[in-house]
Structure 1
Amino acid sequence: MKFISWNVNGIRACVGKGFLDFFNSMDADFFCIQETKCQAGQVELSFKGYEQYWNYAQKKGYSGTAIFTKHTPLSVHYGVSEDISQDEGRIITLEYEDFYLVNVYTPNAQRDLARLPLRLEWESRLALYLQELDAKKPIVYCGDLNVAHMEIDLKNAKSNIGNSGFTYEERAKMSELLASGFIDSFRHLYPEKTDHYTWWSYMNKVRERNIGWRIDYFIVSERLKDSIEEANIHAHILGSDHCPIELQLHL
């Protein structure tokens, strides 16, 4: 099965920048997007053979997630509990016979770290949710997780220590999650690969010089590690400040 995840940074804008061509070329079983930045009825997308599930933020032009899938789920769940995850449309979970698919757009701690306490609370609640699901059946957890886990995951690690997305606290939360029975699929296959990023600032020529961060992930239950066939980063695909990532699983 082929999974794609992409923070599109506004689906309406991305549609005008090649989204449809990439979507059709991938022929994915599951295509997850984050930061849709739209409300119901503001964009009409129809793909033959795909069902679609949207979680809209209450605030217009902000956040939001969606999943396009060829496979009808057993159940669909939006959010985790009565918290920001529902208000901001950040989580969709699809249940299947053999696994759960969890598509997430993680809150940014903000440049001044004003939202770091909320972010850490989010991480704790989400980790519990993922562990509850994992106790029932394996999970595929993907999306823009807004953290570069290790120094290898961003270009200028030393100068970014303590900055949003690379604080010790955010990185520790990722380490705790992985230690609880999950693996980073890309790092599982490519533990030493450098200069592979999924997000670049819009500042002048930053992407051309590949000064980026790897903050988009496919994380899977550890017992699925032998099912991982490939994990790709499509850095050449434009249309957003993030690029799409891909996971191929034998399920």
Structure 2
Amino acid sequence: MLRIATWNINGLRSFTQSQLKEALDQIDADIICLQETKLTGDVIDEQIVTFDGYNSFFSFSRVRSGYSGVATLCRSNLVPVKAEEGLSEVLAPEKCQDLVECYGSTKLSPDRLKQLDSEGRAVLTQFVLSDGKPLTVINVYCPRADPDRYEERLAFKLDFYHLLEARAHALVEAGGHVVVLGDLNTSHKPIDHCDPGDLEEFQSNLGRLWMDRVVTSCAADEGRLQLVDAFRQVHPDMREAFTCWNTQKRARATNYGTRIDYILLSAALSNSLVATDIMAHVLGSDHCPVRAQLEVQLASDPVPLPSLCSRFLVVGKQQKLSAFFAPQAKPSSKEEPKKPCAQAKNVAPKQTSLTAFIQKRPRLETESAAPNVVAAPRNAGAADAWRAMLSGPRPPPLCSGHKEPSVQHTVKKPGPNFNRLFYACARGEGHKDNPESRCNFFQWAPKK
């Protein structure tokens, strides 16, 4: 059995080493394809990325630091015979003997191909089955049509889809099997979306039209490229099977999400599919892993590591992946002795606590011991101000739907209310008919 998984990790450096190890152990796959690693060449050039028990193959963005990026992890006893970065040949090193090749035909210009591969969105690793046929795993992080640059990024996304299709088709035409997996940034059918809205508008989306042409839910005719949706082949009618949620709106708690992470198999390979599952219990990202199990056997002949392996990226001393992670504070066994001050002059006095200040306050006029003095009336406004300050901030208002404390938010959209504070229901976003989801409560916070 061969277990293959995909996971948009949303930033590799946001994990500690122990957190990542725990997540990979939970996924428990022979090949794990990660997207949105956000590790770029300016970080990697002087360090090697290694994972315990895995060899890794990275593609990094060449246009922005800390952006995009994918990585394919293969168990140490499962060495690919070839590995390559990018969907076209523009990134292929000269005289490299272990490239996957089979690029297919496309009408895209060389400049466009360079643009499409410059964001670090694809890594290919190739294995050989026991019957001698090649099996190519294409790990992709497909572009998103960013609303701020919608027309430009939509065209970029569709060209990326076109290039992906051409490469997969060429590999199948050459007599091999293909697995395309990763974050496709499109939910295919209305069943894959928590709120598809108008179905005609939903299905006319250009990304979905591409998926309609290329992706099917069952074994298809081998005469043309048809990629089988592994999850839908096993679970054709399962609803609310989502892989991505808006964590800022706590939508994961109500399972109000989309399915945009896929494992797609070439038609002949889909006959080997045994099981597939969405691993929503694995946390750490706004996506969750998806895993498939194939009944195939790889050739057992030992092969050298392909040159793309991250072991060969090191310049100087080899370092492990732990160097990239957020440091974990280590408890100290004993407190370090304080060093004496070099000068005792002009030392600022320690800040007096509020309690000590009140205890040492000047006597009010009503407490004056001077005879024949009429005390001034207490200032009620000042007393209320002190009382409000000492009692802390006001509690948030209760939401109208659940009568629970609301949560304060800040308006981030540019406009007249930018940076203004407001209160909303603390529960996660969800369907209106779900009583556990967020109610419509909204209230502006008082202006300071």
Fold in common (TM above 0.5):
yes
Give the Cα–Cα distance (whole angstroms) in 1 for the partners of residues 199 and 249 of structure 2.
19
Q: Which residue of 2 aligns with 1:67?
A: 72
Q: Which residue of 2 aligns with 1:172?
A: 209
CA contact (8 A) 1:198 1:214 kept: yes
Match of 1:225 among 265, 270, 285: 270
Is 1:85 equivalent to 2:116 in the alignment? yes
Q: Does the residue aligned with 2:167 lie in a helix, a strand or coil?
A: helix
Q: Which residue of 2 aligns with 1:150?
A: 189
Q: 1:186 to 1:53 in 2, by over 3 A?
A: same
RMSD: 2.1
1:58-137 matches, cutoff 5 A:
58=62, 59-70=64-75, 71-81=78-88, 82-98=113-129, 99-111=135-147, 113-114=150-151, 115-136=153-174, 137=176
CA contact (8 A) 1:63 1:90 kept: yes
Q: Does the residue aligned with 2:128 lie in a helix, a strand or coil?
A: coil
Q: Does the residue aligned with 1:188 lie in a helix, a strand or coil?
A: helix
Unpaired stretches in structure 1, ≥5 consecutive residues: none
Q: Does the residue aligned with 2:292 lie in a helix, a strand or coil?
A: strand
Cα deviations by residue, 1:42-71 (Å, 9 ceiling, x for unpaired): 586533332111111121110000011022
Q: Does the residue aligned with 2:271 lie in a helix, a strand or coil?
A: helix
Runs of 4+ off more than 4 Å: 40-45, 159-163
Give the Cα–Cα distance (whole angstroms) in 2 for the partners of residues 20 and 28 of structure 1.
13
Is 1:51 equivalent to 2:55 in the alignment? yes
- How many aligned positions are there? 249
Q: Which residue of 2 aligns with 1:197?
A: 242
TM-score by length of 2: 0.53
Cα deviations by residue, 1:211-249 (Å, 9 ceiling, x for unpaired): 100000000001112211111101122111111111111
CA contact (8 A) 2:141 2:182 kept: yes
Q: 1:79 to 1:146 in 2, by over 3 A?
A: same
Supply the AA of the counterpart residue of 2:228: I
Q: CA deviation at 1:15?
A: 3.8
How high is the sequence identity, in percent, across the aligned residues? 31
Give the Cα–Cα distance (whole angstroms) in 2 for the partners of residues 26 and 125 of structure 1.
29
Supply the AA of the counterpart residue of 2:127: Y
Higher percent of residues as strand: 1
CA contact (8 A) 1:2 1:247 kept: yes
Give the Cα–Cα distance (whole angstroms) in 2 for the partners of residues 210 and 84 of structure 1.
36
Q: CA deviation at 1:205?
A: 2.4
Give the Cα–Cα distance (whole angstroms) in 2 for the partners of residues 160 and 201 of structure 1.
22
Is 1:13 equivalent to 2:14 in the alignment? yes
Q: 1:155 to 1:90 in 2, by over 3 A?
A: same
CA contact (8 A) 1:185 1:220 kept: yes
Give the Cα–Cα distance (whole angstroms) in 2 for the partners of residues 60 and 212 of structure 1.
28
Q: Which residue of 2 aligns with 1:30?
A: 31
Match of 2:228 among 183, 189, 195: 183
Higher relative contact order (CA 8 A, sep 6+): 1
Match of 1:234 among 279, 287, 290: 279
TM-score by length of 1: 0.92
